[in-house]
Amino acid sequence: MSQPDLEGIARRAVEAAQSAGADDAEAWVEEAVTRQIRVYEAYVESLTDAGSRGFGLRVFLDGRSGYAYGTDLSDEGASALAAQARESAAVADPDEFGGLPDEFGTAEVEGLHASELAGWSTERKIELAVEIERAARAHDGVSQVEDTVYADADGSVALANSRGFCSSYEASSVWAYASVFAGEGADLMTGLGVGLGREPGELDPRAIGDEAAERALALVGARQPESRRCPVVLDAFVAASFIGFIGGMLSADAVQRGRSLFAGREGEEIASAAVRLVDDGVDPEGPDSAPFDGEGSARRRTSLIEDGRLLTFLFDARTARKGERETTASASRGSYRTPPSVGTANLLLEPGDADLEELVRRAGDGLYVTDVAGLHSGVNPVSGTFSVGATGRLIEGGELGSPAREMTIASDLVSMLKAVQAVGSASRWVPFGGSVKAAPLLIGEMAVSGA
């Protein structure tokens, strides 16, 4: 199915909603061809080749809104969807701030779709995955490569509404990871290597395999450390997880509903001067970049924290009206199954100038954390206090020392942000906690609980 078809489907769904009596309506249509290849011991463990499509319709009626989604894109399907969405709206309470945005637009974003993807045969992609696995297994001390996965998606999105907006775009993405074990029995430790891009040629299979192996090997022999308060270096993976969580707390929706620890703190210092955080919806490399957001506002770049000061929250049309602000084009769509809600696009933690060695040297005696577990159950989203499981290595005399496990690190998010002494220079895209480009962080002090 080609793009104009998607726009046509979106327009017809909007018309169906209007015929069903909606004051305003908006349709989001998605189509994607996806492939996932899982290899194990150099054979194909599973190969998935699939096409999927679906659409969601949001209607507004007497100040109320309702949403319905489905997979039957025919005209009859659109009519059924319109009736369903209208029925949903009937049980909603009126919302004085609801409704479509007042302005629409699209941004120019280069390189969302890489035509090279289509040129890759399944066989070459399998080879790529096998090469990742081989690179990981080549390291002495690796006891198992549990899982190696290559995946890609070639998709199109169209959005139309009853105010005349109608646009679409194509985007491609590829990602791969390997999960590796080093050591045996009670001493077994795990490591993950990841890579992402727009087409397979952007993936470096050796680097992904090496990373997984090296991360696991660095932890072999880990023991539970003594409890202490000390400086902590978070590697880029871990920093990305925290940054993603913080990004969620900067949603104006969370703020307006009293569910964010950052409520009422716009303009205040919430972090050390070393911290600069941006949400960029148009970064050409950004996995979540797009010309428009989930309700047709032109995507843009928004500075969130500069020199430690909180500049703004993230707004969609509804929260902007309620807060008497402008949208930051932050209406995001998980998929066609859900109506738009405020969310981050691509969070960028601006890198500093210290390499990892320098951060570790400055930490002196402390802890280098390469993995955290339980972030979403371990952080109180309202107060920001957290205690999460951690794995990594001790830092002794300014150098990486013995590996450590079965411990927690604890602080609260604002204290942690204020205690950032330096941001590392090596920033990278990490597909956890949303789409985040992060660098290592040196934190002045955290509570480490072990034995």
Partner 1 sequence: MIAPELADDLLGRALARGGDLAELYVEERTGLALTLDDRRVERPQSGREIGASVRVVVGDSTYFGHVDGLGEEDLRRVADSVSQAVAGERRRPAALKAAEPREAYEIAQRPEDIAAADKAQILHACDEAARAAGSEVAQVSVSYVENRRRVQVFNSDGVAAADDRTRVRLGAQVVARRDGTVETGHETRGGHAGFELVSANPEEVAEKAARKALTMLDAVDAPTGRMTVVVGNGFGGVLLHEAVGHGLEADAIHKRASVYAGKLDELVAPEFLVAYDSGAEAGEWGSDGIDDEGTPTQRTTIIENGRLTSYLYDLLRARKDGVPSTGNGRRESFRHLPIPRMTNTYFANGNATPEDLIEGTEYGLYAVSFGGGQVEPATGDFVFGLSEGYLIENGKVTKPVRGATLIGNGLEALKLIDGVAADLSIATGFCGKGGQRVPAGVGQPHVRIQSLTVGGTAA
Q: Which of residues 332-361 bind partner 1 (CB under 8 A)?
A: 337-339
Q: Could you write out the DSSP letters of every residue in 19-40?
A: HTT-SEEEEEEEEEEEEEEEEE
Other C-beta atoms lying within 10 Å of the C-beta of residue 54: 17
Decide the pairing of beta strands 428-430 and 435-438.
antiparallel
Among 2, 19, 21, 45, binds partner 1 (CB under 8 A): 45
Closest CA to 429 of 288, 220, 302, 273: 288
Considering only residues 272, 297, 328, 411, which one is a binding residue for partner 1 as defined by CB under 8 A?
411
| Cβ distance to partner 1 smaller for residue 172 or 256 | 256
Q: Least Å distance between CB 229 and partner 1?
A: 7
Q: Which 70-99 residues touch partner 1, going by CB under 8 A?
A: 70-72, 80, 84-85, 87-93, 95
* Rounded CA separation 174/120 (Å): 12
Closest approach of partner 1 to the CB of residue 234, in Å: 16
Residues in 248-277 at the binding interface with partner 1, rule: CB under 8 A: 257-259, 261
- Tell me the closest approach of the beta carbon of residue 78 to partner 1, in angstroms: 13
Stretch of 8-16, 17-25, 131-139, 406-414 contacting partner 1, by CB under 8 A: 406-414
Q: How far is 381 from 362, CA to CA, in rounded Å?
A: 31
283 vs 295 by CB, closer to partner 1: 295
Largest CA distance in the chain: 73
**Residue with smaller CB distance to partner 1, 324 or 451:** 451
Site for partner 1 in 380-399 (CB under 8 A): 380-383, 385-389, 391
Interface residue with partner 1 among 26, 28, 65, 424 (CB under 8 A) is: 65
* Cα 215 to Cα 367: distance, rounded to the nearest angstrom: 15
Contact residue for partner 1 among 53, 134, 300, 301 (CB under 8 A): 53
Task: Tell me the closest approach of the beta carbon of residue 303 to partner 1, in angstroms.
Answer: 27
374 contacts: CB under 8 Å, gap ≥ 6:
388, 389
* CB-CB contact of 381 with 249 (8 Å): yes
Q: Find the part of the chain contacting partner 1 (CB under 8 A) among 4-12, 66-74, 101-109, 299-307.
A: 66-74
Q: Which H, E and C letters describe 38-96, residue by residue?
A: EEECCEEEEEEEEEEEEEEEEEEECCEEEEEEECCCCHHHHHHHHHHHHHHHHHCCCCC
